[in-house]
Amino acid sequence: MTDNQLGPEQFDIGSAATPQGATAEPQRSGKPLGFDVGSCHIVACRQADGGFSTQGQLNAFFELPYRKFTEDLLEHNRISYFQDDGTLIIIGDEAGKFALVMDAELHRPMRDGLLNPTESKAQWVVRKISEMLVSRPEKLGETLCLSVPAVAPEQEARLLHHQAVLQDMFMSLGYRVRLVNEGHATVLAALADNQFNGIGISLGAGMCNGCLSYFSVPVLTFSYGKGGDFIDRSASEVTEMSVSEVRIIKETELDLGRGPANRVEHALQIFHDHLIRGVLQRLQQAIEGTTNLPKIHQPLPLVLGGGTVMPAGFLDRFRKIFKEFRFALPISEVVLTEDPLTATARGACLAAAAEEATGIA
């Protein structure tokens, strides 16, 4: 992989100041950095004391009309925000709290796993949230490995734009940027004990991404253009509840291992099943459509990460539906990664460390 040829000076997202009121110190240690810009969360990861140090923020924003009194309160409470055209733009985790209290929908700078083309502030917000998590490197040219999705051919223009914008953003901060597929990052985070042989699938909010890895080499990658956001929107549509209300039920009450307690849980179970079947169908198609697959005789593990796997009972639900499918490769087990929400960033961090150690792109 090579760096994007656009220079840092060609990246301009406007003149908004660094977010005021930030409550967390951005990571700055001189060690390789993994970064996951997801539809729901942005996560930064560095190696630390034999493990990992991760920080994350909600990838969202909430708008309030500008008032000096309101701004003073945001400053006093160290709430991260910036100003734009007479608007106070609250970013990250605090934006979610405001939306919940005010019973209003969040703005999301990403859609379907990529920068949202209908959201004019998307690039601003992603940059400002990212700067809450990571500052300029101690030494120019430190490695930052950025996770990116695999997308269908019809989404190629959006993917190229998404990658270039994020690469230029981190290059402008002084990093040497490398890319890793989200599914491959899941393998790197979870399958060291299996010599990085296996299938990793990251089930995110905007989409799902998968990779078959053989001794750490990505043999095939695939994506499925639905994720947790699809589940939330669909359940909202059929229950006439707001997306925020549905999301709260999903995150706090839903148990996919039991019968539904109400019509919202029933809808959520239906759309989780639909998503799982869609992901497994894409995996099946990707394997069958790949020529020159390695002759693998030992069964491979399938490991799942990402925020969509978090509801109670998800793994058992996935395993049950998995039995409906037949694959051209033997699969030994289906397991969850440790800490699914940070798996992609941890895998990207390992890729960054390997890049610095070997100097191989």
Q: Are residues 102 and 194 in the same domain?
A: no
> Token pair for residue 169?
């953003």
Q: Residue 359: what pLDDT? A: 62
In the structure encoding, which two tokens stand for residue 221, read together?
A: 């990658």
* Co-location of 215 and 316 in the same domain: yes
Q: Are 203 and 305 in contact, with CB atoms under 8 Å apart?
A: yes
d(CA 40, CA 107): 11
- Indicate whether 82 belongs to any domain: yes
CATH of the domain at 314: 3.30.420.40
Query: 195 and 333, same structural domain?
Result: yes
Phi and psi at residue 180, to the nearest 5°: -140, 135
Please tell me the predicted confidence (pLDDT) of residue 25: 57
Q: What is the pTM of this model?
A: 0.89
Q: Are residues 202 and 323 in the same domain?
A: yes
Cβ atoms of 304 and 315 within 8 Å: the answer is: yes
Strands (E), the chain: 33-37, 41-48, 51-58, 61-65, 81-84, 87-91, 110-111, 114-115, 143-148, 176-181, 198-203, 208-214, 217-224, 300-305, 331-336
Tell me the mean pLDDT per 10 residues along the chain, length 361. Answer: 31 38 56 95 91 95 95 95 93 93 90 94 96 93 95 87 97 96 98 96 97 95 96 97 92 95 97 99 95 87 98 98 95 97 97 82 44
Domain, as residue range, for 69: 60-107
Find tokens 């499918």 and name the residue: 325
The answer to whether residue 36 sits within a structural domain is: no
**305 CB-near residues (< 8 Å, 6+ apart):** 186, 189, 190, 200, 201, 202, 203, 336, 337, 340, 343, 344
Does the residue 216 lie in any domain?
A: yes
DSSP 68-99: HHHHHHHHHTT--EEEETTEEEEETHHHHHHH
Of the residues 107, 135, 170, the one at which a domain ends:
107
What's the structural domain count of the chain? 2
Q: How far is CA 71 from CA 1, 203, 277, in A?
A: 44, 37, 47
Q: What is the per-residue pLDDT for 15?
A: 31
What angle, 0 to 180 degrees and rounded to 10, lies between the N-to-C axes of helices 263-288 and 314-322? 50
Tell me, yes or no, whether 25 lies in a domain.
no
Q: Which residues contact 200 (CB under 8 A, 6 or more apart)?
A: 183, 184, 185, 186, 187, 188, 189, 190, 191, 210, 211, 213, 302, 303, 305, 347
Residues 197 and 333 in one domain: yes
pLDDT for position 30: 67
Query: For residue 80, what are its two tokens?
Result: 């991260």
Domain identity same for 94 and 200: no
Task: Tell me the two tokens of residue 333.
Answer: 């087990």
Answer whether residue 39 is part of any domain.
no
Report the C-alpha gap between 185 and 204 in whole angstroms: 13
pLDDT of residue 358: 76
pLDDT, position 296: 84
Residue at 153 is within a domain:
no
92 plus 194 within the same structural domain: no
